[in-house]
Structure 1
């Protein structure tokens, strides 16, 4: 079965349905990034304070406390499950686009590695391996870039009719 370039050949209605899904998925994904920005978890210090607290810092504008065991397990569990489903669905659509297999492989496998490194890294940092905050930032940026690239590729090929 030939799947490379299949997406632009779908009927217009199905391509619009897929495009609507990817737009809403993107709104949800980028809203999560806005939340990260609001919690100031986009810097190494911010990530550390968000999960380990900042009770010792007398000059802190907002007092943050170390997350408990149940809260951390809930954060890691829900994010790994939901993000893996998001990237599985988006990856399935990527494989139907017209693009090189190397790019498709990168765009569909890398996010799973980033999910494990990001949320596993948050957990390991919370357990005391503080240098993982740098892995969390790097993998989070890479995850965002691959999501953006995948969503853009799918949207572009949904909205661009196939050549006859």
Structure 2
């Protein structure tokens, strides 16, 4: 079965469904990214304080406490499950696009590695492996970048007029 370029052959109704799905999904995805930015200041220290607290910092403007094991496990569990389904669905749509095979494969697989590194990193940071805050930042960046590139490609090709 040839999937490359199949998106161009979809009926108009399916293309509109894809566009509506990607737009709605992206509102949720980027609101989550906005939440992360507001709770961590998008820096390693903010990430560390979000999960380990800042109780020793006398100059802190907002007191944060170390997350409980239940809170960490809930965060890791729910994000890995939900984001893996999101990335799987986006990858299925991306599979139908007409982009180079190596780029397509990278965009389809990389988010799963970043997902495990990001949320596994949060758990390991909570277990006091402090260098994981950098892994979390880098993998989170790659996860967001590959998602953004994928949805841009899907939207561009789903909206393209075909003769």
Is the TM value for this pair above 0.5? yes
Q: Calculate the TM-score normalised by the size of structure 2.
A: 0.98
> Contact 1:54/1:65 (CA < 8 Å) preserved in 2?
yes
Q: Structure 1's 118 and 41: CA in aligned 2 closer, same or farther, altered over 3 A?
A: farther
Find the counterpart in structure 2 of residue 70 from structure 1. Answer: 70
Find the counterpart in structure 1 of residue 141 from structure 2. Answer: 141
Aligned partners of 1:161, 1:11: CA distance in 2, in Å?
Answer: 11
Find the counterpart in structure 1 of residue 19 from structure 2. Answer: 19
> Contact 1:9/1:161 (CA < 8 Å) preserved in 2?
no
Q: Calculate the TM-score normalised by the size of structure 1.
A: 0.97
Report the secondary structure of 1:146's partner residue: helix
Find the counterpart in structure 1 of residue 52 from structure 2. Answer: 52
Aligned partners of 2:11, 2:71: CA distance in 1, in Å?
Answer: 45
Q: What does the per-residue CA deviation read over 1:44-102, in whole Å, with 9 as the maximum and x for residues that have no partner?
A: 00000000000011110110000001010000000000010000000000000001110
Find the counterpart in structure 1 of residue 79 from structure 2. Answer: 79
> Contact 1:117/1:136 (CA < 8 Å) preserved in 2?
yes
Which ranges in structure 1 are unaligned for 5 or more consecutive residues?
A: none
Which ranges in structure 2 are unaligned for 5 or more consecutive residues?
A: none
Aligned partners of 1:141, 1:6: CA distance in 2, in Å?
Answer: 30
Aligned partners of 1:25, 1:7: CA distance in 2, in Å?
Answer: 19
Verify: 1:124 aligned to 2:120, yes or no: no
Report the secondary structure of 1:120's partner residue: helix
How many residues are aligned here?
Answer: 163
Runs of 4+ in 1 over 2 A off after TM superposition: none
CA RMSD of aligned residues (A): 0.8
Aligned partners of 1:146, 1:17: CA distance in 2, in Å?
Answer: 22
Find the counterpart in structure 2 of residue 97 from structure 1. Answer: 97
Q: What does the per-residue CA deviation read over 1:25-51, in whole Å, with 9 as the maximum and x for residues that have no partner?
A: 111100001101111251100000000
Aligned partners of 1:90, 1:26: CA distance in 2, in Å?
Answer: 11
